[in-house]
Amino acid sequence: MTAATGAAFSGRLRLRLFGIPSSESGFARRGFAPAAPVVQARLEGIGATFIEGYRAALLHDEAGPLKARLQLIAPELRGFAYEGAGMGLALSDFFTPWRKRWQTFLEGPGADHAYMMHVGLGWAWARLPVSISRRLDRLDPLLRWLAVDGYGFHQGYFRWPRFIDAQERPRLSGYALRAFDQGLGRSLWFVRGANVEQVAATLAGFPSDRQADLWGGVGLACAYAGGVAREEVERLALAAGAHRPRLAQGMAFAAKARERAGNLAPHTELACQAVWHRSAAAAAQLTDQALAGLREEAGVPAYERWRQRIASYAEPPSGSVPRQDA
């Protein structure tokens, strides 16, 4: 057996053992309430793209062929495929840890999709018997919390009766609980079919100390995944009330993730114009601005201070007119 033949066999075996069928993204399969047909088709398509990237990562052992496969996906959806690939690579690494596929891909073809790669890593954690606290210590000090965000999304998406309806808390501690809620908020956009009223009503039922992080996740999903018109985004911002700055922060993160990957989308521009009164490019720039001199202070992770700074930019001085940027 040649090396190429052996790699192909190993890929097919991983896919057989750990593959997720594309039908898993269907609303009926997940038990989600039906949404408007166009919205539902979009959200289901996003889930299917994630699974496509995941399956590609199980099949391909080397970074080059995997990148080539992911690049075939439409740019607007490609980030979701890289997220799925992050999960697939991390899962493969668990069983052959000497390979370090996830890290190799992150430092190579996946560098522009670093945010999504970390989120995908968290999906894998949700399906493996691992210590999240120990694994966090091995990751980038700033972006590692995105992996916990991914873990929270997975639990909300696949186990929404427990983690959304029953509001179960995961077995995490410290800031990881907050990062989990940020991912849980993202999953809510899918579980509630991007229905603004249902999203807002669900969040209102959570304890007040969890709502800000949940709203941040909703903002990220709204701007990155899209699915609604500007009027609905504006209603979402109104429903967020005091948490509007956190909603805006999530949208800025979405804009930055898309800018870094070179896959800006009309719905991201729409969301940023509706809430930030700025272009997506200007919102992304704010996330860079907020990184200046960033460090952990008083036990607050640098990642959270980053989020706080971005949110503070969304609060115009009393009586001022929101800025309009091209």
Taking the model in full, what pTM does it have? 0.93
Buried b (16+ CB within 10 A) or exposed e, 137-146: eebeeebbbb
- Tens digit of pLDDT at every position of the chain (326 positions): 554 555 665 766 677 767 788 889 999 999 999 999 999 999 999 999 999 999 999 998 789 999 999 999 999 999 999 999 999 999 999 999 898 999 999 999 999 999 999 999 999 999 999 999 999 999 999 999 999 999 999 999 999 999 999 999 999 999 999 999 999 999 999 999 999 999 999 999 999 999 999 999 999 999 999 999 999 999 999 999 999 999 999 999 999 999 999 999 999 999 999 999 999 999 999 999 999 999 888 889 999 999 999 999 996 544 333 443 43
Count of CB atoms within 10 A of residue 184's CB? Answer: 29
Contact 89, 63 (CB under 8 A): no
Distance of CA 119 to the CA centre of its chain: 6
Provide the 8-state DSSP code for 293. Answer: T
Please report the DSSP string for 297-325 in residue order.
BTTB-HHHHHHHHHHHHTSPPTTPPPP--
Q: Comparing C-alpha atoms, which of 249, 200, 255, 196 is closest to residue 223?
A: 255
